[in-house]
Structure 1
Amino acid sequence: MPNRSLSRRGLAATAVVCSALVGGGVAYAATTPEPAIKTFTPRSADQVTNIDVLRQQIRNYYGDPLGTGTFGPDSNYVREATSVARDAGRWLSARGHERGEDRHHHRGQKAIVLDVDDTTLTTWNYEVASNWAYNPTTNGEYVTGQRFPATPGMVDLVKKAKREGYAVFFLTGRPSSQEAATLGNLTSDGVGVDAGYPAPTTLRNGEDGLFTKPDVSAYPGYLQKACAADPGGKCTTIHYKSATRAHIESIGYDIVANLGDQYSDLKGGYADRTFKVPNPNYYLP
């Protein structure tokens, strides 16, 4: 998940509101600028889930009905996230056991790419603390304080991938200024939460295997090229992530699985298969 801007977050889980709308209504007419979320216009208030009711539904889904900021170990969220991790693990094992001619269809060392926020680290504590209203300052405090726990099932998945010979790469929209804190939260540095992931793989060209998003002025050539037509040359999430995956494959890796909690984490190709991790809290185009 990329680092979110305030303009992309409402006071509540906008994406879930949109998905909760039922039949009827008309699509948004083309406007300038167009809204990031394409959905229907409800004809009546009864077609929209009440914001306060929706917040409580999300708390219940996370097994945290009182909003303590800690998701329940037996919650539907944990069940669903763990199921995605298991499915990905089965896929990796199947691909890792290919032999002979089957293996020749795929070039390069096999690899797995994972997003960070709400794919490998869960931001539920921040959603509750902020009442689903994203603020870059307070969110940055959670990031630099390394306060996010591991997403259920994902540490075991990544460790399994490492044992089976996969290169492991993390790809996040967090800015480069947050790279050290992100790595510390993902692995173990004694600050805040140590999620316990193995260290990312160093690429064959010497690059760090944790990709954070640089400032436009520091874009490597592959991002400059891929995002040249984006507003101000600043990569959209889809272009940033797909171009980075293409870069990884260009230097000798076969991305067997790509995991993310946003569809923008997964679009754009350069992965044999994608896995969507549950996240009803926000939507990022």
Structure 2
Amino acid sequence: MTFTITRRLGITAVAALAVAALGGAGVGYAASSATTLQPAIKTITPRSEKDVTNIDVLRQQLRNYYGDALGTGQFGDDSNYAREARSAASDGAHYLAHAHPARHKTKAIILDVDDTTLATWNYEVFSNWAFNPTTNADYVLNQRFPAVPGMVSMVTSAEREGYAIFYLTGRPTSQEQATLGNLTADQIGVDAGYPKPTTLRDGEDGLFTKPDVTAYPDYLKQACAADPGGKCTTIHYKSATRAHIESLGYDIVGNFGDQFSDLKGGFADKTFKLPNPNYFLP
């Protein structure tokens, strides 16, 4: 049995795994229709400690999966993680090469950033799976993340085949330039080597970062009006953005993400899930 770890909710890895054993208490909460607080992650309640993987053992299992048994922060190119990631990228490439996009529309792909195009394994090891906005921002702004195995080749092939390339991330707008530099090439930190995002027909740059709620475009205001405080959930933010893109005359043939919340909500012909056992974004 394995557990995923909630991040961006201020929960450490230890807390997230421990509360999973207690039915999710304390993992960050969402209000139900009756305004009763509920855990963001729905999971089992173990009957015994034997039903739960020891946290330290689980951390070591993750290191082994990434081919980094000693926790250096560098995943192995022949690791099980790398093989799974390359397999997902290969499936995507094969599908895109044989897909039949909607007529009279421009074919496109859309990609999440963290652990879909850029691998954050080095930060997970550094932070001991405890997300901290300040230390994470240091990694983002200094562009420290390498490419996810197999994905640069897949995206480059898609661009050659005439696909528009769009990136859609939950990172804030303040991190847009650093994200673009890390994805492409600007001689700062890691240059992952992805194609630059395609400029949309309305002039948008094709790298969608999450704005502050006060700066939401109309399509996010409408899609997320019923969300708490009007702030988009991950699913609403990403699905509304995909709907916006398609409204401009694009057919999103492939949607790539490491979280199921990257992939839910429609507005893509097919979805592709990249491996990520490190955290969970509802």
TM-score, scaled relative to structure 1: 0.90
Residue 171 of structure 1 is matched in structure 2 by: 168
Q: 1:50: Cα distance to partner?
A: 0.3
Are 1:93 and 2:104 an aligned pair?
no
Are 1:72 and 2:76 an aligned pair?
yes
What is the identity, as a one-letter code, of the residue corresponding to 1:71? F
Are 1:5 and 2:8 an aligned pair?
yes
Provide the rounded CA distance (Å) in 2 between the counterparts of 1:211 and 1:16: 34
Provide the rounded CA distance (Å) in 2 between the counterparts of 1:12 and 1:156: 36
Residue 49 of structure 1 is matched in structure 2 by: 53
Q: 1:15: Cα distance to partner?
A: 7.5
Asked whether the equivalents of residues 14 and 283 of structure 1 are also in contact (C-alpha less than 8 Å), the reply is no
Asked whether the equivalents of residues 63 and 71 of structure 1 are also in contact (C-alpha less than 8 Å), the reply is yes
Residue 192 of structure 2 is matched in structure 1 by: 195
Q: 1:33: Cα distance to partner?
A: 1.5
Residue 139 of structure 2 aligns to a residue whose secondary structure is helix
Are 1:154 and 2:156 an aligned pair?
no
Provide the rounded CA distance (Å) in 1 between the counterparts of 2:195 and 2:19: 36
Residue 40 of structure 1 is matched in structure 2 by: 44
Provide the rounded CA distance (Å) in 2 between the counterparts of 1:27 and 1:281: 17
What is the identity, as a one-letter code, of the residue corresponding to 1:234? K
The unaligned stretches of length 5 or more in structure 1 are: none
Q: How does 1:178-189 map to 2 (within 5 A)?
A: 178-189=175-186
Provide the rounded CA distance (Å) in 1 between the counterparts of 2:18 and 2:82: 18
Asked whether the equivalents of residues 24 and 41 of structure 2 are also in contact (C-alpha less than 8 Å), the reply is no
Asked whether the equivalents of residues 66 and 82 of structure 2 are also in contact (C-alpha less than 8 Å), the reply is yes
Residue 34 of structure 1 aligns to a residue whose secondary structure is strand
Candidates 252, 257, 261, aligned match of 1:255: 252
Asked whether the equivalents of residues 14 and 281 of structure 1 are also in contact (C-alpha less than 8 Å), the reply is no
Residue 41 of structure 1 aligns to a residue whose secondary structure is coil
Q: Structure 1 runs of 4+ off > 6 angstroms?
A: 25-28
What is the identity, as a one-letter code, of the residue corresponding to 1:34? Q
Taking a change above 3 Å as real, the CA distance of residues 224 and 117 of structure 1, as seen in their structure-2 partners, is same
Are 1:137 and 2:134 an aligned pair?
yes
Residue 62 of structure 2 is matched in structure 1 by: 58
Residue 194 of structure 1 aligns to a residue whose secondary structure is coil
Residue 282 of structure 1 is matched in structure 2 by: 279
Asked whether the equivalents of residues 7 and 280 of structure 2 are also in contact (C-alpha less than 8 Å), the reply is no
Asked whether the equivalents of residues 13 and 282 of structure 1 are also in contact (C-alpha less than 8 Å), the reply is no
Residue 215 of structure 1 is matched in structure 2 by: 212
Residue 125 of structure 2 aligns to a residue whose secondary structure is helix
The structure whose RCO (Cα within 8 Å, separation 6+) is larger is 1
Provide the rounded CA distance (Å) in 2 between the counterparts of 1:47 and 1:190: 48
TM-score, scaled relative to structure 2: 0.91
